[in-house]
Amino acid sequence: MNTSSTVRMTTRMSLIYLPIFAAAAMQVLGVVVPQQPPIFSGPCAVLPPSNKTETPSYDGVKSGASSIWGHEGSGGPKKWTDLYVKGLTVIPYCFPTEEHRKANIAKVEAATELWITALGGKASEASGHKIMFSEWIDPRKKPMYCIDVNSPVDSKWNMAVPYKTVAIWKDDRAGKRAASSTVGMGDSPGKPWDLDMWLGEEASVQTIAHEFGHVMGMMHEQQRSDRDTYVRYDCMKLTDYSTALARARESDPSVTTAELCNDVNIAAKYEFSGRSFTKSVLYGKSNDGWMLNLDTPYDVNRHYAL
């Protein structure tokens, strides 16, 4: 683990599951951040970690995220583990700079508290979960930032902070209420800027809580492969459908409505919010994205209204 023995963590822990939005990745201070696919102004965007792995679905939040896909070891989903504290699933985060922290620390802490409240309290046998959200702090209890401008590495990642840490960015280029995040812990040993969350200026506490759901490993119910058995999805009702289709056909006149609405890669390429509704989700070594396994009944109360 790339951290010094002096690093300690504070128990800034944390709930809710409400839909909303998407944002674009950003680069500041000349920091080399891995490029993410362009993001749209849709209900919610889930960005692939830079190692191209994802951790979708949900297993009762006992360990934060589910590994039911069965793709671990082959570039597929992987849940958070007791990587930092034995017996606890610590999900650590940091802010790139003091500016980013000041913009979002209060809302981030409120969002994680929503989760802890919903889970029945702090991690314990009584609450039935072992999740802890925590910001990295130094021995003086001062926040440790993701960026160290004096770092010898090109990424300027603070080498006292473990790579498996969610970097939370203030995203001035996103829609003001937008937010997006990577999903789960990823399937590699880690590297700088592997896990990220981007927050627009007016992103609400509930929106940020939704993104923490993705960070824990949850995915959208409406992206299950059996969705069409229970609901009818009309992609043309999404507000950015016309502009996304026009953008796609300007680039490639052969793009069809079916491709734009059902192919996660095409939806992402042309910044279409329908990316949050495709039955093939996210990325990985599979060019078609990963499919959600069906181990529980479909829940129509757990997806976005269309």
Task: State yes or no: pLDDT of 39 exceeds 90.
Answer: no
CB-neighbour burial class of residue 132 (10 A; exposed 0-12, middle 13-18, buried 19+): buried
Give the distance between the most distant pair of CA atoms in the chain: 60
Distance of CA 249 to the CA centre of its chain: 29
CB-neighbour burial class of residue 226 (10 A; exposed 0-12, middle 13-18, buried 19+): exposed
More confident site: 18 or 146: 146
Instruction: Give per-residue pLDDT as tens, 212-242.
Output: 988 887 777 777 778 888 888 899 999 899 9
Q: What is the pTM of this model?
A: 0.71
Lowest-confidence segment of 76-85, 136-145, 264-273 by average pLDDT: 76-85
Query: Any bridge partners for residue 197, and if so which?
Result: 168, 181
User: pLDDT at position 205, please?
Assistant: 95
CA distance 83 to 116: 20
Lowest-confidence segment of 30-39, 90-99, 263-272 by average pLDDT: 30-39
Task: State yes or no: pLDDT of 127 exceeds 80.
Answer: yes
User: 186-202 burial, b for 16+ CB within 10 Å, e for fewer?
Assistant: bbbebbbbbbbbbbbee
More confident site: 172 or 235: 235
What mean pLDDT is reported for the chain? Answer: 73
DSSP single-letter state for residue 181: E
CA distance 175 to 166: 21
What is the H or E stretch that residue 213 is in?
helix 205-216
User: pLDDT at position 114, please?
Assistant: 96
Task: State yes or no: pLDDT of 15 exceeds 70.
Answer: no
CA distance 44 to 265: 16
Instruction: Give per-residue pLDDT as tens, 44-73.
Output: 544 434 333 333 333 333 322 233 345 555
At position 68, the amino acid (one-letter code) is: I
> Counting runs of H as helices and runs of E as strands, what totals does the chain give?
5, 9
User: pLDDT at position 105, please?
Assistant: 98
More confident site: 56 or 262: 262
The angle formed by the CA atoms of residues 211, 40 and 172, to the nearest 5 degrees, is: 70
Q: What is the mean pLDDT of residues 11-37?
A: 30
User: pLDDT at position 260, please?
Assistant: 95
Q: What is the mean pLDDT of residues 36-50?
A: 37
More confident site: 156 or 290: 156
More confident site: 46 or 291: 291
Q: What is the mean pLDDT of residues 171-193?
A: 74
User: pLDDT at position 140, please?
Assistant: 95
Strands 179-182 and 45-47 come out as parallel
Domains of the chain by residue range? 8-219, 222-306
